A = this chain, B = another copy of it.
């Protein structure tokens, strides 16, 4: 290189260094603004093994206060050992309002690697791509700033880097067998990465950065992040528009048209209860052994008998294999994240049963009616919840939703009884009476909910509960039927 060229090169490097320093200062200044605007920022850094994802993140965070960011490094669990939906570990880590979360690789690597490895089928791959698009759109629509970067290096560069790391005893462990295997399969990975980015670049754009040049990549990533945050700060928290999506829906009656007269005799009840509980206990063994996750969702009027219904279902279940999740008003740390987060983090493991005592449908009932979210938010939620549930059934879960139904007179009688019975008084609050006054509004909301979210994969069942015993028997029968079908379906697939 001539003296002149060298000088020019040096001047360029100095210029780049100065710009990086300035961008870091800008990011540092943004952290407080993000907190004030309650904006959550999610930065996904994907890319080739040895492309420098970790050290890039090290640079991005170097001037930020630890109160404003977190870093999560993905450990991809082999498909056969995975006990949760594939998005679970990533959904679990979404940032709270005012914070930046850096993902040192994430769902892209998870899906691509498993597909290249033939751990998942083409069908599963497609489902996962769809889930990824839904997941990212839901975050964006919920006001998340999402930035996706892919660090690109060619095969020669990857070889150089892997060799350099392996050379030193102290760093050799950093190159895993998985990395070596990726290097050998560079071409297949290249194709898979490119396809995945094409398939998932519409809602949230991918930024492919050339990672050969260390300083440039730091500069460019910083610039992308700073500009994206600036734009979000300027525009304010984004609220996504409601949208139509075609889900195969099961037609549901209006609540007003439901016949609430069915009853059961005490004798019949006792006999059936015992038989059904025994059968459910047996099936629990089977689904546990076959690793089928089961999610039972309970919604219903106050005093409709949800609690007693749940207890009858839970009684025959092995305590090691089920959980009841009572859902109360969200706590501050839950309000600070996308509304489905507190349900993602409560999902059961494969083979386990989770009974939700109230669910994510609070979004389109109490949150809608009390104005806890915007109109756009709850209108968007029908589709978002359908998508969420499809992600659960894609995973293999049985999802059943029960609306425990009574009429207003029955509710009044039960409220009055609670009021007059000392040991039941805690069950009745002023809020219950206030909600009761809004019965017609709730009825409208429930009708909307049942009409828009009873999908074939996650159907609603209206359980007539003026007679609580009748309701329990009906619920048990539906659960047993669904579990038997799920087991048969799994057997069929095994024989295919």
A residues with CB within 8 A of B: 29, 32, 35, 54-55, 57-58, 61-63, 65-67, 70-71, 73, 102, 104, 170-171, 173-174, 282, 285-286, 288-289, 307, 310-311, 314-321, 323-326, 328, 331-333, 355, 357, 423, 426
Residues of B near A67 (CB, < 8 A) are 326, 328, 357
Nearest-neighbour CB distance to chain B for A476, whole angstroms, equals 15
Are A70 and B332 neighbours in the complex by a CB distance under 8 Å? no
Contact A285-B357, Cβ < 8 Å, known A71-B323, A315-B62, A332-B332: no
Are A73 and B320 neighbours in the complex by a CB distance under 8 Å? yes
Are A311 and B63 neighbours in the complex by a CB distance under 8 Å? yes
Contact A32-B320, Cβ < 8 Å, known A289-B170, A311-B62, A328-B67: no
A61 to B320, CA, bound (A): 13
Residues of B near A71 (CB, < 8 A) are 319, 323
A173 to B288, CA, bound (A): 9
Are A61 and B307 neighbours in the complex by a CB distance under 8 Å? no
A357 to B70, CA, bound (A): 13
Please name 20 pairs of A and B residues whose Cβ atoms are closer than 8 Å in the assembled complex, sorted by A.
Answer: A32-B426, A54-B320, A55-B318, A55-B319, A58-B319, A62-B311, A62-B315, A65-B307, A66-B357, A71-B323, A73-B319, A73-B320, A170-B282, A170-B289, A171-B285, A173-B285, A173-B288, A173-B289, A331-B331, A331-B333
Are B66 and A319 neighbours in the complex by a CB distance under 8 Å? no
Are B319 and A102 neighbours in the complex by a CB distance under 8 Å? yes
| Closest chain B residue, CB of each to CB of A283 | B170
- Please state the number of chain copies in the assembly: 2
Pick the residue among B174, B289, B324 that contacts A66 (CB under 8 A). Answer: B324
A326 to B54, CA, bound (A): 21
Are B355 and A320 neighbours in the complex by a CB distance under 8 Å? no
A310 to B29, CA, bound (A): 18
A102 to B322, CA, bound (A): 13
Nearest-neighbour CB distance to chain B for A339, whole angstroms, equals 17
Are A355 and B66 neighbours in the complex by a CB distance under 8 Å? yes
A332 to B332, CA, bound (A): 8
Nearest-neighbour CB distance to chain B for A92, whole angstroms, equals 13
| Closest chain B residue, CB of each to CB of A423 | B29
Are A319 and B61 neighbours in the complex by a CB distance under 8 Å? yes
Pick the residue among B32, B315, B324 that contacts A58 (CB under 8 A). Answer: B315
| Closest chain B residue, CB of each to CB of A75 | B320
Nearest-neighbour CB distance to chain B for A46, whole angstroms, equals 14
Complex A-B, nearest 7 residue pairs according to Cβ-Cβ distance, in ascending order: A66-B324, A73-B320, A67-B326, A32-B426, A57-B319, A170-B285, A54-B319
A323 to B54, CA, bound (A): 13
Pick the residue among B55, B73, B319 that contacts A104 (CB under 8 A). Answer: B319
Nearest-neighbour CB distance to chain B for A26, whole angstroms, equals 10
Pick the residue among B32, B65, B332 that contacts A331 (CB under 8 A). Answer: B332
Residues of B near A426 (CB, < 8 A) are 32, 35
Are B326 and A66 neighbours in the complex by a CB distance under 8 Å? yes
| Closest chain B residue, CB of each to CB of A290 | B173
Most buried by B among A62, A66, A173, A310: A66
A320 to B105, CA, bound (A): 10
Residues of B near A316 (CB, < 8 A) are 58
Nearest-neighbour CB distance to chain B for A397, whole angstroms, equals 20
A333 to B334, CA, bound (A): 10
Residues of B near A57 (CB, < 8 A) are 319
Nearest-neighbour CB distance to chain B for A17, whole angstroms, equals 15
Given contacts A65-B326, A170-B285, A174-B285, 5 further A-B contacts (CB under 8 A): A55-B318, A63-B311, A66-B307, A67-B326, A71-B319
Are B58 and A318 neighbours in the complex by a CB distance under 8 Å? yes
